[in-house]
Homo-oligomer: A and B are copies of this chain.
Amino acid sequence: MREINSNDIEVMIAAPFVDTQTQAELLTALQVLLGERGVLLDPSECERYCKGARYGEGKAVAVLRPNSHAQVEELVRLCVTFQQPLLMQGANTGLVAASTPDASASIFVVSLERLKQHLVIDVINRSVEVDAGVCLQELNEALLPHGLFFPIDLAANPSIGGMIATNTGGAKLIRYGDVRQNLLGLRAVLLDPAGAVLDLQTALRKNNTGPDLKQLFVGSSGAFGIITRAVLQLHHLPRQTATALIVPRDQAAVLEILRIFERDCGEFLSAFEGISGAALQAVMRHIPDIQNPFAPEVCPDYCILLELSSSASQDTSGIVLDALLMRMLEPLLDYEVHNAVIGRGKDLWRIRHSISEALRYEGTIIAFDISMPRSAIVEFRAEACAVIQANYPWVKCMDFGHWADGGCHFNLVWPADAANTFDTKLVQQLREQIYDLVVYSYQGSFSAEHGVGPYNQDYYQRYTSDVAKHLAGKIQLLVDPKRLSGLTWFGCT
């Protein structure tokens, strides 16, 4: 359920006006370039490219579907010449409306879904060259026979290009890093000079030969050019994991358990996820085939999903993670840990992955993708819950998150059976109160892993310093002087 639709979003782009006749001329040229299936004009065919996974819904004049690098280069040249605004789209799984057109019906969507011919694995270098349109699951299927994977762990199946434009993080960042930390090289098509190829397609872990220009494109929301290929660092697939659901003595104990695990088996720690009691109860209430891993009728106030993993085989290395986890937990029981269940990873992760679905049964979700220093989480949770309780007592805190990397999905639910009906303006006010708390009181971030797009453009303006916006805007105008690319503006307004 969406609490804001795209019409509420003030889009910061001043789309140049392209008259209908000129646009028709451009479309004819693009049809010659991309072929019949390369240019979609029929609104029913365009529809699926025009609605975001969570927010954003608009209209595109056309959807362009290049299937080669040369086509991308030439279409950029044509569109820039005609001053035609473009919106880059991968698998359209983003959560900030950055890859769906606005309501102006003036934009061309450039979908890279057909740009997926190239996928070359270098097993010795643990790297892969991959076209931007390849999706995460496709990539990981191709890597499976080699015992390798690209370790960004998330529920959706985004394209590699989209993952770079968003700098996806996910649940295993503490072990493997985010997309940025696994990006070795990149190829992008620039808007200025129009269609020029910025070829940074190297597979190097150490390379300090000037400013690292590929960093510009990471987390850019597609505003700086079109990413057409990436070189990614790969990791060995885990061959064993050990997973536990742990009930901490109290909130302070969460951080102590994290510290002890990081110090004494941090090398294997691949997830350390917090789940509030309310979120856990919602899962037990609404997802029928999930068993309560604790004694029936007992639901803890808080729990931690902890995972150790390794590509080591038990036989060769002698490393046995189940035994290690038991050994680590035992001395903590009745001290930092009130209770713990060591279980099948798949079952325990299902609880974590069912939270969003379960929350929808409770009412309308008010989602937050925030982060802060780990040292701030306990105090923030207490203060934020108190703010909600004092000002919006009918709203329920049902948060969960990635403690180890400071990420927090501080999700709230406006219950379906609340006395007052869902109020967009009030939610907006609540949202700003929470963001103000995160950013001003806890030096945190209003967007941990979803990036910036039209959905949180206003928050970008509010929480970014003028000096930073001034510099970011100058860079954006430098790479896109006519403001033709994307719907996100990083400069001052």
A: which residues have CB within 8 A of B? 122-127, 147, 166-167, 169, 173-174, 177-178, 180-181, 190, 193, 196-200, 202-213, 215-216, 218-220, 224, 236, 255, 259, 262-268, 310-313, 316-319, 323-324, 327-328, 331, 371-375, 402, 405-407, 443-452, 460, 463-465, 467-468, 470-472, 474-476, 478-479, 490
Contact = CB atoms under 8 A, between A and B. Distances in A.
Contact of A219 (B212, B219, B236, B405): B212
Contact of A311 (B177, B263, B406, B446): B263
Contact of A210 (B174, B406, B464): B464
Given A219-B211, A236-B262, A468-B213, A204 B445 contact: yes
Contact of A267 (B267, B407, B471): B267
B122 A263 contact: no
Contacts of A193: 467, 470
Contacts of A212: 167, 180, 215, 218-219
Given A208-B167, A405-B206, A475-B478, A265 B319 contact: yes
Contacts of A205: 173-174, 371, 405-407
B236 A317 contact: no
Contacts of A181: 177, 181
B451 A204 contact: no
Contact of A471 (B190, B265, B476): B190
A319 B310 CA distance: 14
Contacts of A263: 147, 236, 311-312
Contacts of A124: 255, 259, 373-375
Q: Is the interface of A mostly helix, strand, loop or mixed?
A: mixed
Nearest to A166: B208
A210 B165 CA distance: 10
Contacts of A126: 262, 374
Contacts of A224: 211
Given A467-B190, A478-B474, A446 B264 contact: no
Closest 6 CB pairs between A and B?
Answer: A267-B267, A215-B215, A124-B375, A206-B448, A207-B445, A125-B373
Contact of A236 (B197, B266, B464): B266
